[in-house]
Structure formats: C-alpha cells, structure tokens
Amino acid sequence: MIKQISLEANEKKIFELRELYDSYGYSHYKMSKFEEYGLYLKNKDFLVSEGVITFTDTNGKLMALKPDVTLSIVKNTLNSTNSIQKLYYNENVYRVSKSSHSFKEIMQVGLECIGSVDDYCICEVLKLALRSLDKISDKTVLDISNLDILVELQESIGVPESERPEILRLVSEKNIHELSKKFKELGIWEENTEIFKNLISISGSPEKVIPKLKSLLAGRVKAETVGNFCSIISFLADEKAVNIDFSLVDDINYYNGIVFKGFVDGIPSGVLSGGQYDKLMKNMKRSSKAIGFAVYLDMLEQLYTSTDEYDVDILLVYDSTVPPEKISRTADEMRSEGSVLAVDCVPEGIRCRKTVFLKAGGEVS
Amino acid sequence: MKTMLNVALPKGRLGEKVYAMFEKAGFPCPSIKENNRKLIFENEECGVRYFWVKPSDVAIYVERGAADIGVAGKDILLEYEPEVYELLDLNIGKCRMAVAAKQGFRDDTDKTLRVATKFSNIAGQYYLSRGRDIDIIHLNGSIEIAPILGLSDVIVDIVETGATLRENNLSVIETIVPISARFISNKASYKFKSEAIDKLVSELAKQVEG
C-alpha cells in the first residue's frame, strides 16, 4: 500500500503536538488570520522577518496577514500578575523568506505561558519543548542559553552599550577570533576576554556545565542570576537532548533570561525556537511575565523523503462505453487492495503497481 | 556506520591550500589529488567527503546543510551574512576589502557618491555607518574600469597586491576590513557532529598558530 506523503505526516505531527499540549492542560487558542497592521509597526524588531502582507479592510483600517502569533496572543490576554494563562496555537504565518525574498506561508504550532510565570512554569515549557522534539525525531538537541548572564557579564567587564549588539552577533557565530580582536580594540582586559571566550565555548549537559559556570562567573555575574539558571537546568539533568550553549542569543530588546532552540538531525536549521519575553510584555505595557515557543512545521518536510515506488496502487482505465455506476462499483471493490485512480486514459508519467482496463463487457487486467 | 563529515571546499588555489591543511589535520582523501573532473571525493575510513564548489557558494552549501562545514572568504560571509558558526580564522587567502579611486580623486561631499561594486551589502553598510549618501552600482566583474569610464566615482572591491589597481591608474583610498579564509559550520550539523568538527578545528588551530 502507498505510504503517507509528507503533508499527511505534518498533519499527524500537528495532531500529536496538540494532544501533548492538551495533556498538560494548555487551552487551544484559535485566532483570525488578520491583525491590525499597527501592532507590527510598534513592534517591528520583534518580527523574525521584515515585510508584512497588508490590505485595507472594508472599514478603511490597514490590516495584515499575521507574520507572528505571539504579539496577537499577548495583545488579547489579560494583564494579570496573579494568574496564569497557558495556551497553544496552530496557525499559518506569512513571512519573507531570506533566500527567495518572497512571502511564504509557514505552518506553526506553539505555546505561550502568560501571567505569573515562575520557575516551575519555565521548567514545564522546557520539558514540553523537549517532548515536542521527541515527537519529531529520536535524534534531537535542545540548546539552552541565558541572556541575563550574557548581558550582566558584558556590563561587568565594561563592554560599552553601543557595542553590545555587535558582541552578541559574534557570540552567536561562536566567533572567538574576532571577539578577541574586538575586545582588544575596546581595551578590555585579557583576563575578562578569556572569561567571555570560555563562556561561549561551554557546551554540554547541565551536569557537566553547572560547576564550570559557577566558578567562571563568580563575582562577575550576580549570584542570583547564575543560581536561578543553574537550578532550572538541573531540573533537566536527566534529559539527554539538553545542551547548554551560550552562543544562542536573541534580541535583548524583547527577550530576557532563558532562550532555547531545538534541532533535529537531518534538518539544517532550528525547528523550534522560544524563550522568556518579559521585555516584550513591558513594551506592550503589560506587567506580567511570559515564556513560549514555536515549532516550525514547514521545515519538517525535509525529514520525510518519499520512498514510494508508485503514485497509486491500482490504475483503473475504463472504456467510455462503461456506465458510471459500474466504474464506481468496480473501483470501490478494488479499494480493499489499495488506492484506486479511475481514469478514461492513462495519465502521462504515472507509476502504478497494477493497471486494470475496464470494458463494457467485463474487466481485463 | 561512521558519521560522514561533508566538507565544501572553494575551487581553486585557496581550496588546494585548505585541503592540504585538512589532510594534515587527519582528514585525508587521496582520490582528490587525481587529475580528473570529478567534484565529489570520499574517504569512508576517515569519515570525510569533500566537494569542490564555487568559492562564493560555499556559505550557501553550509547554511543549507548540504555541507556540514566549509571554508569561505570573510568577504562572502560579510556580504551574504549566512546563519552559520565561524569557528576559526585560517589566516590564509589574506587580502582586504577596500575603497579605490582614480589617482588624484577628491571626494565631493556635496554630491551623492557613486560606488561600483560586487559587494553591495558591504559597501552599503560601510557608507551607512559614515552617514554618506551613495548610489550603489552593482557589477559582476571588471569593477576597475567603472571609474575610468565615468560609471562610478569609486569602487569597493577586494585588493590583494594592488597590481590590477595600479595598472588601471587606480589606488586604494580607504581599507574597509581585512579579509581571510574562515572555517564555517552549519549550526545544526555542529549539534550532531561536534566531536569530529571540534577535533578538526583544534588540529587546524595548531597549524594556524604553528
């Protein structure tokens, strides 16, 4: 029998992910495809890609096809610090592809925790990110980093604020040679340069990383910041896919604290991305905290290569003199053997396991 | 089965130098030295597969995961800004990205500066950082003749020895950035093949320092 095609596999993943989030009590959040353009204008840098598809609604309002889901969810949730909303979504977003410079429809499944986000919530979201990756493949890695540590370390070693975005860019490239040059230009002590270099070279399981991190950052980053991070990652000590990697950075104007990215063997870029975004909440005049992630399902297609030998199991070619009822009945009977395509002439290039010719008098294989 | 490391090498003299370094680092593939038109070479025993690609395409192969690692010029990395790790400066293929103009050129800041280049992104960002209004003329080759024919005021291009510039009566007026060959890795590949990649990087680093 013909195997499922990639689209079906993606649909199956959506179903499995929804089932996973349902089992943790997250509520499904269904939203409209459109959003007022003004929302993106105010938070332009939060968007992954520049460019939004816009149109004027019948009432004259400038609307957009959603390039992002998080902003809409934040806009529509209660501004409460003593309650929490746990939501998940499954939506299409419209973004400009970096390679083709044209708009693409991207299928996204994700979740958001908004409100009184505590350490348990953060751990739960990280666990759900790990379980989401498990649903995709058995060979995965979840990189986890902490932006507060990177920001505080830059402050303590005296990196001027104007240079910090450039430093973070070099960190994200694991570009130690240029980082050393840059620090030299900025007149930063060699001892501090070494600490920074060691931090971005750290990579491994929580168990391996925690002792190194504590000794490396002692006296340079607030003990509370390091302690909080270590206690959260130690909760994930049994998770084999966890990899602490400080080269993972995100926009510090929106994100803070823990950020993470999920990788699957066989897919060339991250398939899951998330983090704490308290700063975005603040920018949107919210006093509550938030954490969430999204899974980019369009990338999963690369995992499913069709190995099917045939396009269809049975090709039923009928003669124009055969009555429609007979064609329908014959095709229905054959469906127990597999998929049946009924046509009056053989389509060009089709690959089928078996061809059956149906004539008015009977059938000939 | 041993994990294979897919390596994109830049075709040409630089690629040959890079292969020699990789060979010395413990990743040999003798078939690459055979004189033929093949583009892909494999040494299963060492777990390495090399392929020759156009130098400006190395970053694309690595970013899209067709190659796990590769060696690309810093000029290409600055121009296309691929989402990759830049793990080592190999200190070979050294040159610089520079602004050049006809001998005796004086920048008339009253006018928009016309800049001919293959590197529109690098030129654009450089002049943006200086707040200078420019008109970029994107060319694909023979950039040096643009100022001679009056197509542009200056050019932004790679300068190695400066001989081509001198022969065309041009000279460097500013250096934008030094360029050399960089070892790059696909971010996802690094997660799953870090052991082999780290080993290679540390062996190459010894040669660079050596």
Predicted confidence at residue B18, as pLDDT, reads 96
Predicted confidence at residue A3, as pLDDT, reads 40
Task: Provide the β-strand partners of residue A315.
Answer: A341, A355
Instruction: With CB atoms and an 8 Å threshold, state whether B187 touches A269.
Output: yes
- Separation CA A198–CA A309 (nearest Å): 51
Determine which helix (DSSP H) or strand (DSSP E) holds A355, and give its type and residue range. strand A352-359
Predicted confidence at residue A11, as pLDDT, reads 82
Q: How many residues does chain A have?
A: 365
Structure tokens that stand for A350 in this block? 């089709």
- Separation CA A216–CA A53 (nearest Å): 47
Mean pLDDT value of segment A91-103:
84
One-letter amino acid at A318 equals Y
Instruction: With CB atoms and an 8 Å threshold, state whether A263 touches B89.
Output: no
Predicted confidence at residue B56, as pLDDT, reads 93
Q: In what order do the strands lie in the sheet with B181-186?
A: B40-43, B48-53, B5-10, B69-73, B181-186, B84-89
Label residue A2 by pLDDT band (50, 70, 90).
very low
Based on the number of CB atoms within 10 Å of its own CB, is A119 exposed (0-12), middle (13-18) or buried (19 or more)?
Answer: exposed
> Is the CB of A141 inside 8 Å of chain B's CB atoms?
yes
pLDDT at A112 over 60: yes
Label residue A5 by pLDDT band (50, 70, 90).
very low
Predicted confidence at residue A306, as pLDDT, reads 62
Comparing CA positions, the residue from A215, A257, A261 lying closest to residue A242 is A261
**A159-173, A227-241, B23-37: the lowest-pLDDT one:** B23-37
Residues in contact with A331: Cβ distance below 8 Å, sequence separation at least 6, in sequence order: A316, A340, A342
SS3 A75: helix
User: What percent of chain A lies above the pLDDT cut of 70?
Assistant: 95
Label residue A117 by pLDDT band (50, 70, 90).
very high
**DSSP-H helix ranges across B35-157:** 58-63, 74-80, 120-129, 145-148
User: Model ipTM?
Assistant: 0.87
Q: In what order do the strands lie in the sheet with A242-245?
A: A27-28, A84-96, A103-115, A289-296, A272-276, A256-264, A140-146, A242-245, A203-204
Residue with tokens 């999920």: A262
pLDDT digits (tens, 9 = 90+) for A162-181: 999 999 999 999 999 999 99
Distance from CA of B84 to the nearest CA of A (A): 6
Mean pLDDT value of segment A207-229:
92
SS3 A60: coil
Label residue A100 by pLDDT band (50, 70, 90).
confident
> Is the CB of A241 inside 8 Å of chain B's CB atoms?
no
Q: Please state, rounded to an integer, the average pLDDT across all residues of chain A.
A: 88
Label residue A235 by pLDDT band (50, 70, 90).
very high
- The residue ranking higher by pLDDT, A250 or A173, is A173
Instruction: With CB atoms and an 8 Å threshold, state whether A178 touches B86.
Output: yes
Structure tokens that stand for A99 in this block? 């390679």
Q: What is the pTM of this model?
A: 0.87
- The residue ranking higher by pLDDT, A331 or A365, is A331
Distance from CA of B185 to the nearest CA of A (A): 9
pLDDT digits (tens, 9 = 90+) for A269-325: 999 999 999 988 988 888 899 999 999 988 887 777 666 788 888 998 998 888 888
- Separation CA A208–CA A340 (nearest Å): 56
Q: What is the DSSP letter of A2?
A: P
- Separation CA A231–CA A235 (nearest Å): 7
Predicted confidence at residue A326, as pLDDT, reads 87
**Which of B191, B198, B202, B204 to probe by mutation at the A interface, max A CB count within 10 Å?**
B191
One-letter amino acid at B101 equals A
pLDDT at B162 over 70: yes
Q: How many residues does chain B have?
A: 210
Mean pLDDT value of segment B193-202:
94
- Separation CA B17–CA B92 (nearest Å): 8
Question: Structural domains in chain B?
Answer: 5-93+180-209 (3.40.190.10), 95-178 (3.40.190.10)
**A298-312, A326-340, B181-195: the lowest-pLDDT one:** A298-312
Task: Provide the β-strand partners of residue B84.
Answer: B186
Mean pLDDT value of segment A74-83:
82
SS3 string, A218-255, reads: CCCCCHHHHHHHHHHHHCCCCCCCEEEECCCCCCCCCC
Q: What is the DSSP letter of A346?
A: P
* A-B Cβ pairs (cutoff 8 Å, strict): 42
Using alpha carbons only, how large is chain B's radius of gyration in Å?
Answer: 20
Label residue A131 by pLDDT band (50, 70, 90).
very high
Predicted confidence at residue A169, as pLDDT, reads 93
CB B60 within 8 A of CB B16: no
Label residue A4 by pLDDT band (50, 70, 90).
very low
